[in-house]
Amino acid sequence: MDATPDTPAPQLVEEPSTAGVPRQTVDLLVALCLGVLLFRTFSAEAYVVPTGSMAPTLLGHHRELTCPNCKFPFDVGLDDEAPPARPVCPNCGRSGFDREPVVTSNGDRVLVQKFLYDFRAPERWEVAVFHYPGDPTQAYVKRVVGLPGESIRIAGGDVWVDGVVARKGPEDVRAMRMLVHDSRFTPADSDRYPRWSFRRGASLQGDPTGWSQGPDGFRREPTNPPGDGDDWIVYRNWDPGLGRYAPIRDYYGYNGGDVRSDNPVADVGLEARVALGEGVDSLVLSLRSAGDRFVVRVPTRADEPVEVTRNGAARKVFALANPLAAAEAGGMHTVEASLFDDRLMVAVDGSPLFEPLDYDDPSEARWNDESPAAIGVRGGSAHVPEVRIYRDVHYTGSLGAAHRRPHGVLEPYRLKSGEYFVLGDNSPVSNDSRFWTQGPVVPRSLFLGKPFLVHLPGKVVALEVFGRSLYWIPDPRRIRYIH
């Protein structure tokens, strides 16, 4: 069961005294309580997510750990019917957490917008709660990927609709991308196994680089001689499962180190905070997806266009805006770039630089690179306090050790009117449309609503109060909206 109604026992509440309290304050509190009660009764319903099939978007019962090697906080799922998963840090690959402190947390509590699907149909990529077709007494939560009348197939980790890869918009990418590495959490062994390298020019024998890494991130100072080559910060991927440099694979820190991650993931992205100093000619971004390499050059002058190349050949893009061209030197900007679903998207401070660049002829070379992403500048000084590397959800054709013939994997599955195909974000362990024995579809009549808020996350902590040692307390850090 993936979602259960959250129905706490009613509490007896004494009527507060109004002595010395302004009447309008009491009226406001009463109105607020009535509003919350009406909202819960007629608009929203609370559910608990007990399993990790939608991790990391939604968490089931889990443990919270902090890696002693890089100080990265991460979650590992708990299964009541299996031994605890073996933690391996997804940021640096450190294992051996037997003596590290662990905080046990309940599954996410989500508010579900009821009756939404009475007014409109479920949409692709949105999270939905529905009655499980195999047992309508159970509620499941998954992501909608296939709509009525479509032919759905899972291939290469992507969803294909009527023979064409289903592409995500910017908000979908932000909601579904999975963190691979965060430069703010530097591993203690980074001197032996650096996750970042610096390179100037097109080869390792280029001009001296101006980049260096310190406690406040990456900084570049002008070099002497200045030269005209691009100066790069290059990411090097350390595989948590293999314990060595390797291309990005579909590793889930939530599943622990015992769940295999054998599938290379070509869909990559980055997000960085960037401040460009005086003398910077342009910001440059590089993303590799299997045999394709895209380079995006963002100039700092308004009279110069944004340039995009694919495998060295220029590609035309429909320019929208360039916030860097109108920015003052030294201002901090957020830069996002993704190469998901054969689509290139780049944004600065939330504004897209150009219309998404789709390419329906991906390279036939299906190799991946251990350095799939880089960010750099040409000329001047710069400060990059943080860079995060992401990957896309990679949908698999198997469910752990279970031997089942999957739906929509070996051949497309055609949905009928009113039928939907749903998948979990934690694909290796998600029992979803691919593996249901009664068939892969969810009829529209079984949809309950759309979860929109993780509203009351909590954790179990040890406190010696009234002779008891374990208490559940709310954790406001985890409150978040659900896309």
- Residue 37 confidence (pLDDT): 52
Per-residue pLDDT, averaged over 242-262, amounts to 92
Residue 108, SS3 per DSSP: coil
Answer yes or no: is pLDDT of 105 > 50: yes
- Residue 260 confidence (pLDDT): 84
- Residue 401 confidence (pLDDT): 58
pLDDT over 70, % of the chain: 86
Alpha helices in 57-208 (DSSP H): 170-176
Q: Among 6-15, 94-103, 302-311, name the one with the lowest average pLDDT.
A: 6-15
Q: Among 137-141, 200-204, 298-302, 413-417, name the one with the lowest average pLDDT.
A: 200-204
Helix (H) or strand (E) holding 446: none
Q: What is the rounded CA–CA span in Å between residue 268 and residue 388?
A: 11
- Residue 26 confidence (pLDDT): 60
- Cα 157 to Cα 186, 391, 430: the distances in Å are 30, 11, 14
- In order of their start, the domains of the chain are 196-235+266-391 (2.60.120.560)
- Residue 31 confidence (pLDDT): 57
pLDDT band at 53 (very low <50, low <70, confident <90, very high): very high
Buried b (16+ CB within 10 A) or exposed e, 114-125: bebbeeeebebb
Answer yes or no: is pLDDT of 330 > 90: no
pTM of the model: 0.89
Answer yes or no: is pLDDT of 38 > 80: no
DSSP 118-143: GTS---TT-EEEEEETTEEEEEEEEE
- Residue 227 confidence (pLDDT): 67
Mean pLDDT computed over every residue of the chain: 88
DSSP state at residue 82 = S
pLDDT band at 398 (very low <50, low <70, confident <90, very high): confident
